[in-house]
C-alpha cells in the first residue's frame, strides 16, 4: 500500500458517523472525543513515550496516554481542531501504526506478526546450530590440527549461514533502529541493532581481512546465539502479551457485525448491520449468537452466558419479560427480543470503556520507569563508547565486543515491564471475575488498605426483603395466611409486597392461589381488598388496627393482615435480604488485618441488627452523606488507608473521598460510577479477592523491580570488564525480560487464598 493509499484509508475515519466505532464523547473534557486505538509496532517503554510526544505535538490533541504493556492508547481530541486521520498519520510518521480498538483485522495482523516472529526465531535457531557446528572444530583443535584452508572454509561457511540471520531474523531490529535515526529518537532496539551490526561487520572483516586491525577472530557463533536468545524472549513475550490483551479484545469484538431485525413493511426478518439498531427494534437471535443490544425477551426462552460481563461462570436462564445484556451469549434457544438500549448507553459499552481506560493508564512507578527509559538508553550508549575506548588500545577487536556486550546486556526492558505487566495481568484477572479496575495505580492503593467501610442498604443487603417468620391467629395455618397476603400484595409494587409474593411463589411455585377483588392501595399505609365476602387489609399496625406485640423483632419490619370485621389474622416478620457470604467476607477481611465498619443512613435498630448478623462490631446509623465523609476524614487523619464500598447511588461524596472505592455496577450506570473498582455482579466476595490480589500484585511488582535492578547491577560491571561474552549478554537480556513477564503471569489466575467459598 502506497503512502497516498494509506492517507486515503485514514480519511475514511474522518466521517463523524465512523467515530462511534472507536470513539466516544469525553466525560472529563467538554466538547472533545476520547478514542481508543491499538498501537502496532511497539516493543518498549521508550516507544510509548515517542508516540505520546508525536501525538501531543498535533494541534487539537488534548492528551495522549500509551500503555507500554497493553499496546493501547487513549487519545482525547477536539473535533473542531483536528480529525482522526491527522493524529493517526502522526503516529504513522513516528514509525508506528494506530488502528481502531475494534478493528476486525487487528487480530489477523497480530496472528501474522506472531507467525513472522516464529519464523524469524526458527531461522535464527537453525542457523545458530549450523554456525556452532562450523565453529566447534576451531574450539577443540590443537595447533596444527586445522589447515589454513580448512579454517578459512569454516569461516566462510559461518559467514554465509549468518546472512539469513542478519537479513531476515534481525530485520525488525534494524528497521526500528533506522526509524529511530530518522526520527532522532531512541528505542530499546537501537543499542541491540547497533550491537548486532558491530558484531557482524567485525566478524566479516576477520573473515575477509584476517590481517586487519580487528584481527582474525570471528564471532558468528556469538552473533547467531544471542539473536536466537533475543528472538526467543521476544516471541514468548508476544505470546504472553496476546494472552493478556486477548481478554480485552475478546470483549471489544464480542458484538456481532449484523443482526436479524423485524421489518414491519415486509413482515419478515432481514439482516442489517448492528450499528443501525434503534430502540424498540425487534431482533431474532439464534443459539450460538451474541446479543447486540440491551433489551427484554419477547418470545422464547434460553440460557445465556454473561461471564465476560458479570463474572457469573454458570449459564443463566432467561424467559419472556426478562432482561438481556448486550455482549451476552445465547446458548440454547432461538429467541426474540425488543431493544431498549443501544450504543454507548448499553452496559456492554460502559464495561468496554472502563476496561480500555484501565489498559491505557500508567501506575506511578511505571511512569517513572518510562521517563527514565530514554535517559537510560543514552547512558547505555555512553557506557558502551567509554568501555570501547578503554579497551581499544589493548585490542580493538576485543574492545568492540565489550561494547556489544554492554549495549545488549543493559537493555532496560525488564525494568520498564516490571510494573505494567503485573498490573495489567491483575486487572485482567479481576475483570474475568466480575471486577473492573478503572485506574491501574489504584491496585497499589488497595494493597495498603487497613480499614474498609461498608454502606448497608444495597451493599451488605439487597434491595429486597425476605420473610423471616409468620405469627398467626388460632384457626389459621401459615400457608393460608401467606396465600391471602400474596393475593393482596400481588396488586402492589411496594418492596414489602414483592417480598410476600416472592415468598408465596417460592413455597407454592405460583404468584397467587387466591382470587382478590376490589383492591385499593393507600399510600404509606397498606392495601385493602375482597377475598370472597371478606374485606381484608394488609399493611401497618395502625392501618390494619392490629393489636399485637413486636417483642423480639427489633430491627425487622412487621406487616399485618386483618379482617375489617373480625380483626387481626397474622403478622409477617420481614428482614433485609443479605448478600451471599457476607459473614464470610467480613471474617476474611478481619483475618487479613483489615478493620471493618458500617456507615448507614438507616435507623439504629436496622443497622445494629445487620451488623450483628455479619459480625461487625463498629457501626454508625442515621448518617447523612456529610456524616459519612466526616467519619472517613477522621480515620484518614489518624493515618488509616480507607476503602469505601457502596452501591454508587447516594454514596458519591464518600466514594470520592476514600483512598480506594468500590461500587456495585448493578446499582448505577457504569458511566456515572466514579469508583476505582466496579463490581459487575452481586458477589461481595469480590472485595476480598481484589484486596488479596492487589497485595500479591504489589509483591510481584517489588520482585520484578528488585530482579531488574540486581540483574543490571551485576551484569553491567561484568560487561565493562570484558568478562561477559556477547552471546551470554543476549541470553541475560532475553531471560531478564522473560522472567519479569512470567512472574507477572502468575497473576493471571486467582490463587486459592483469594477464593472465598
Active site residues: 455
Four-residue CA torsion sign, 22, 25, 26, 29: positive
CA dihedral 631, 633, 636, 638 (to 10 degrees): -70
Q: For residues 327 and 317, what is the distance between their CA atoms, to the nearest angstrom? A: 16
Straight-line distance from the first to the last Cα atom of the chain, in angstroms, rounded to the nearest whole number: 56
Q: Which residues pair with 324 in a beta bridge?
A: 295
> Tell me, what DSSP letter sits at residue 754?
G
C-alpha grid cell for residue 650?
Answer: 447516594
Strands (E), 524-601: 526-531, 534-539, 557-563, 567-578, 595-599
Backbone angles phi, psi at 89, to 5 degrees: -65, -35
Q: Quick one: residue 204, left, alpha or beta (phi over 0 = left, psi -120 to 50 = alpha)?
A: alpha
**CB within 8 Å of 385: residues ≥ 6 apart:** 403
Question: In angstroms, how far apart are the furthest CA atoms of the chain?
Answer: 124
Task: Assess contact for 706 and 739: CB atoms under 8 A.
Answer: no
Instruction: In the chain, count H helices and then E strands.
Output: 24, 27
325: closest CA among 311, 339, 313? 339
Among candidate residues 3, 16, 5, the one with its CA nearest the CA of residue 77: 16
In 184-335, alpha helices (H) = 189-208, 220-252, 307-310
Across 239-290, the runs of DSSP E, i.e. the strands, are 258-263, 268-273, 282-285
Amino acid at each position: 500500500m502506497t503512502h497516498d493509499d494509506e492517507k486515503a484509508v485514514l480519511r475514511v475515519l474522518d466521517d463523524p458517523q465512523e467515530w462511534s466505532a472507536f470513539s466516544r464523547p469525553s466525560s472529563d473534557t467538554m466538547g472533545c472525543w476520547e478514542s481508543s486505538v491499538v498501537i502496532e509496532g511497539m516493543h518498549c517503554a521508550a516507544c510509548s513515550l515517542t508516540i505520546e510526544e508525536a501525538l501531543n505535538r498535533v494541534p487539537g490533541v488534548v492528551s495522549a496516554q500509551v500503555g507500554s504493556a497493553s499496546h493501547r492508547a487513549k487519545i482525547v481530541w477536539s473535533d473542531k481542531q483536528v480529525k482522526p486521520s491527522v493524529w493517526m498519520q502522526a503516529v504513522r510518521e513516528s514509525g508506528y501504526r494506530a488502528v481502531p480498538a475494534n478493528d476486525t483485522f487487528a487480530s489477523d495482523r497480530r496472528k501474522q506478526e506472531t507467525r513472522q516472529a516464529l519464523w524469524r526465531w526458527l531461522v535464527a535457531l537453525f542457523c545458530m546450530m549450523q554456525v556452532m557446528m562450523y565453529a566447534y572444530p576451531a574450539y577443540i583443535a590443537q595447533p596444527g590440527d586445522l589447515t589454513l584452508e580448512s579454517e578459512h572454509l569454516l569461516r566462510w561457511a559461518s559467514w554465509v549461514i549468518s546472512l539469513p540471520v542478519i537479513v531476515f531474523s534481525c530485520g525488525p531490529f534494524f528497521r526500528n533502529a533506522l526509524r529511530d535515526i530518522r526520527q532522532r529518537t531512541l528505542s530499546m532496539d537501537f543499542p541491540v541493532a547497533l550491537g548486532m551490526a558491530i558484531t557482524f561487520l567485525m566478524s566479516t572483516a576477520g573473515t575477509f581481512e584476517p590481517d586487519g586491525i580487528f584481527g582474525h577472530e570471528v564471532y558468528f557463533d556469538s552473533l547467531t546465539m544471542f539473536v536466537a536468545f533475543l528472538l526467543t524472549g521476544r516471541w514468548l513475550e508476544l505470546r504472553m502479551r496476546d494472552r493478556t490483551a486477548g481478554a480485552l479484545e475478546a470483549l471489544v469484538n464480542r458484538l456481532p457485525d449484523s443482526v436479524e431485525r423485524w421489518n414491519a413493511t415486509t413482515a419478515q426478518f432481514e439482516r442489517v448491520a448492528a450499528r443501525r439498531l434503534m430502540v424498540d427494534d425487534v431482533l431474532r437471535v439464534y443459539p450460538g449468537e451474541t446479543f447486540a443490544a440491551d433489551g427484554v425477551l419477547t418470545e422464547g426462552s434460553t440460557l445465556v452466558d454473561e461471564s465476560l460481563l458479570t463474572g457469573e461462570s454458570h449459564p443463566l436462564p432467561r424467559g419472556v419479560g426478562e432482561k438481556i445484556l448486550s455482549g451476552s451469549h445465547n446458548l440454547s434457544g432461538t429467541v426474540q427480543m425488543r431493544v431498549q438500549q443501544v450504543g454507548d448507553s448499553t452496559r456492554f459499552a460502559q464495561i468496554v470503556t472502563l476496561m480500555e481506560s484501565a489498559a491505557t493508564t500508567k501506575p506511578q512507578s511505571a511512569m517513572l520507569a518510562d521517563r527514565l527509559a530514554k535517559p537510560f538508553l543514552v547512558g547505555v550508549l555512553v557506557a558502551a563508547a567509554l568501555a570501547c575506548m578503554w579497551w581499544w588500545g589493548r585490542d580493538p577487536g576485543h574492545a568492540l565486543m565489550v561494547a556489544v556486550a554492554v549495549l545488549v546486556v543493559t537493555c532496560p526492558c525488564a525494568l520498564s515491564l516490571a510494573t505494567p505487566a503485573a498490573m495489567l495481568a491483575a486487572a485482567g484477572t479481576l475483570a474475568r471475575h466480575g471486577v473492573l479496575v478503572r485506574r491501574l495505580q489504584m491496585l497499589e492503593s488497595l494493597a495498603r488498605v487497613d480499614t474498609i467501610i461498608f454502606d448497608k442498604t444495597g451493599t451488605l443487603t439487597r434491595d429486597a426483603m425476605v420473610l423471616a417468620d409468620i405469627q398467626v391467629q388460632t384457626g389459621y395455618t401459615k400457608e393460608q395466611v401467606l396465600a391471602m397476603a400474596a393475593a393482596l400484595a400481588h396488586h402492589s409494587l411496594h418492596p414489602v409486597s414483592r417480598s410476600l409474593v416472592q415468598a408465596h411463589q417460592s413455597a407454592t411455585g405460583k404468584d397467587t392461589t387466591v382470587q382478590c377483588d376490589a383492591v385499593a392501595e393507600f399510600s404509606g399505609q397498606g392495601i385493602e381488598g375482597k377475598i370472597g365476602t371478606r374485606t381484608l387489609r394488609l399493611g401497618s399496625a395502625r392501618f390494619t388496627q392490629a393489636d399485637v406485640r413486636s417483642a423480639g423483632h427489633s430491627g425487622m419490619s412487621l406487616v399485618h393482615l386483618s379482617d375489617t370485621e373480625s380483626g387481626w389474622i397474622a403478622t409477617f416478620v420481614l428482614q433485609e435480604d443479605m448478600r451471599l457470604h457476607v459473614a464470610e467476607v467480613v471474617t476474611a477481611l478481619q483475618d487479613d488485618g483489615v478493620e471493618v465498619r458500617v456507615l448507614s443512613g438507616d435507623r439504629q435498630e436496622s443497622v445494629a441488627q445487620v451488623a450483628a448478623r455479619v459480625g461487625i462490631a463498629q457501626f454508625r446509623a442515621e448518617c447523612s452523606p456529610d456524616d459519612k465523609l466526616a467519619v472517613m476524614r477522621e480515620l484518614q487523619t489518624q493515618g488509616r488507608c480507607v476503602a469505601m464500598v457502596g452501591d454508587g447511588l447516594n454514596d458519591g461524596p464518600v466514594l470520592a473521598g476514600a483512598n480506594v472505592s468500590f461500587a456495585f455496577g448493578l446499582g448505577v450506570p457504569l458511566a456515572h460510577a466514579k469508583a476505582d473498582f466496579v463490581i459487575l455482579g452481586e458477589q461481595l466476595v469480590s472485595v476480598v479477592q481484589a484486596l488479596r490480589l492487589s497485595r500479591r500484585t504489589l509483591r510481584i511488582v517489588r520482585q520484578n523491580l528488585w530482579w531488574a535492578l540486581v540483574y543490571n547491577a551485576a551484569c553491567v560491571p561484568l560487561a565493562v570488564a570484558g568478562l561477559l561474552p556477547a552471546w551470554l549478554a543476549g541470553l541475560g537480556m532475553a531471560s531478564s525480560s522473560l522472567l519479569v513477564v512470567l512472574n507477572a503471569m502468575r497473576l493471571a489466575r486467582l490463587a486459592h487464598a483469594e477464593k472465598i467459598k
